[in-house]
């Protein structure tokens, strides 16, 4: 009896998740009538109705909710077992979905993406750019990239770049006109390019550390506000004000003489950016290939 019930559980889980026989059938690649038949068989085996059906809606009964609560973990473990077995020796292929913040486009995505796609032509890559924290499991992402302190403790985190410092930069033309701030408090006398945090909708308060270790925050002001780090750097290069950013993003512009660092003794450090995902058992060949390629490529870029 158990073997027959197990064959019907995938249909039950899809209907429970989608609240629709039609949607579940489309996902399973069968007809709605076939799914309905399998659910009736399962209910007959269990001996109780698992769904309350109306002409407009499908809802779990109390028995159905109990069945779902107990069946879902076992089904997930079976799917993970299949994925883990298939990943051994598998060829990287399929859609790789990543969620990344704007700030790593220049320092992580740009140095890696083109080469990875050339090395693994059977992998299609989708990069969803946004600074909001997302539930990568619920939203169907294979992995995400975030700064270390923002990653939940139950995630597997793989370092992509070393720890770095933040920096305040300005164009030589701006510094020649307005002078160089010597302490964070001096920023109140300067034009600064404000950054609006997408997650909170508030203006980011620039963070600094006193030589003794005391942390301070400064609310800066200026003519321009943006929520895009690339736009912020472009405006800084044009001499529109000072910008607060990641040192790895500013370093090429500093080396080219287009920006100069200020307030270096006060700028704090960060543990760096990591790629994170839910479980090592779920690492498919496409994600493993990306991790290995990115770490090798970035090791040279940030050496």
Query: Tell me, what CATH number does 233's domain have?
Result: 3.40.190.290
Q: What percent of the chain has pLDDT over 70?
A: 90
Residue finishing a domain among 31, 61, 87? 87
Overall domain count for the chain: 3
In a shared domain, residues 288 and 148: yes
Residue 271 has pLDDT above 90, yes or no: no
CATH value at residue 16: 1.10.10.10
In a shared domain, residues 290 and 254: no
In a shared domain, residues 142 and 172: no
Contact 125, 96 (CB under 8 A): yes
In a shared domain, residues 258 and 285: no
Entry pTM: 0.61
In a shared domain, residues 139 and 280: yes
In a shared domain, residues 155 and 168: no
On average, the pLDDT of the chain sits at 87
Mind listing the pLDDT tens digit for each residue in 30-83? 888 888 888 888 888 888 888 888 777 788 888 888 888 887 777 767 666 666
* Structural domain harbouring 24: 2-87
Q: Give residue 11's pLDDT.
A: 86
Helices (H), the chain: 2-18, 21-28, 32-46, 62-87, 110-119, 172-178, 229-237, 247-255, 285-301
In a shared domain, residues 71 and 151: no
In a shared domain, residues 52 and 13: yes
CATH value at residue 138: 3.40.190.10
């Amino acid at each position: 009896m158990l073997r027959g019930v197990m064959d019907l559980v995938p249909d039950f889980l899809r209907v429970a998740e989608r609240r629709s026989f039609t949607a579940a059938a489309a996902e399973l690649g069968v007809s709605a009538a076939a799914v309905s038949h399998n659910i009736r068989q399962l209910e007959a085996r269990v001996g109780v109705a698992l769904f309350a059906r109306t002409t407009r809606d499908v809802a779990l009964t109390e028995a159905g909710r109990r069945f779902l609560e107990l069946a879902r973990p076992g089904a997930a473990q079976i799917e993970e077992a299949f994925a883990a077995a298939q990943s051994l020796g598998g060829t990287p292929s399929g859609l790789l979905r990543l969620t990344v913040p704007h700030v790593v486009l220049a320092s992580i995505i740009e140095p890696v993406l083109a080469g990875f796609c050339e090395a693994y032509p059977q992998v299609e890559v989708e990069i969803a750019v946004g600074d909001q924290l997302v539930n990568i499991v619920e939203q169907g992402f294979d992995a995400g990239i975030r700064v270390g302190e923002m990653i939940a403790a139950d995630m597997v985190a793989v370092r992509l770049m070393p720890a770095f410092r933040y920096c305040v930069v300005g164009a030589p033309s701006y510094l020649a006109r307005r002078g160089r701030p010597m302490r964070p408090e001096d920023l109140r006398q300067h034009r600064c390019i404000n950054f609006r945090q997408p997650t909170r909708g508030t203006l980011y308060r620039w963070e600094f550390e006193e030589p003794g270790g005391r942390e301070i925050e400064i609310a800066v002001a200026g003519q321009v506000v943006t929520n895009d780090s690339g736009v912020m750097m472009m405006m800084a290069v044009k001499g529109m004000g000072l910008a607060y950013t990641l040192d790895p993003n500013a370093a090429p512009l500093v080396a080219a003489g287009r920006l100069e660092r200020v307030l270096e003794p006060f700028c704090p450090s960060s543990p760096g950016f990591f790629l994170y995902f839910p479980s090592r058992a779920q690492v498919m060949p496409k994600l493993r290939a990306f991790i290995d390629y990115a770490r090798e490529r970035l090791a040279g870029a940030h050496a």
